[in-house]
Amino acid sequence: MRAQDLVVERRWALITGASDGIGRAFAVELAARGYGCVLVARRAERLRAVAEQIGPGRCRILAEDLGDPAAIGRLADATADLSVDLLVAAAGFGTSGPFVDADLRSELDMIDVNCRAVAALAHVFGRRMVARRRGGIILFSSLLAFQGVPRSANYAATKAYIQTLAEGLRPELNAFGVEVLSVAPGPIASGFAARAGLSLGLSQTPDVVARQALAALGRMTTVRPGWLSKLLIGALSSLPRGGRTWVMAKIMAGMTKA
């Protein structure tokens, strides 16, 4: 089932990372298409600002830190009365610099948020969608997911997990009327880069990601939204995996602190 088919029945979307960047763009776009939106992020005040932008009575705010393993159970309980037919798992963060110099707690927290929480969300809400035989799950990979990336090794590894998860889940769930899409964006103008310690040159806006991902749901397994993503993946795709890693090492050296 494609996103446009889901919208007609005015069901609910659960969007993590909805307070900023790509998650916020999805919330605004989906609300414009008729969805009720369950907005999930750590900071309630930012979620309230998004809800006010969307309009009264159209959002449910759930302030949760997905790094807490108990958060998924609370989200499941808080949405038990809703028909959540679209999961947009946009929450996540990155780090940069040499892995052995990084704070270990932060690196492990990133695995929790980027991988464990996403797997749990896909399991909980995927089961509900399978029972209703309809729905969509949008997961977030990255252009960094397709090779090793020096100076962003752990983040790239978390996104490789998401890419592989989405590729495996799509044929499993498609038989039950549930579509799965991996979104692999390139550089995006959001708060992500600042938190990761990256200095971006060219970047795309989050609304491009939201629109093109929703258009791709039900049509493909992986979408690389925007011209910049397509340009970058085109330049890398002709290289062997080791060559892509070498190129990414050069790129990351110019984007991260020494």
Whether residue 89 contacts residue 136, with contact meaning beta carbons closer than 8 Å, is answered with: no
Report how far residue 37's alpha carbon sits from residue 18's, in angstroms, rounded to the nearest whole number. 10
Q: 155 an active-site residue?
A: yes
Neighbours of 251 (CB within 10 A): 16
Report how far residue 222's alpha carbon sits from residue 224's, in angstroms, rounded to the nearest whole number. 7
Per the rule left: phi > 0, alpha: psi between -120 and 50, beta: everything else, 14 is: beta
Say which residues have a Cβ less than 8 Å from residue 216's Cβ, sequence separation at least 6.
181, 183, 223, 225
Annotated catalytic residue: which of 125, 155, 161, 192? 155
Q: Hey, which residues are catalytic here?
A: 155
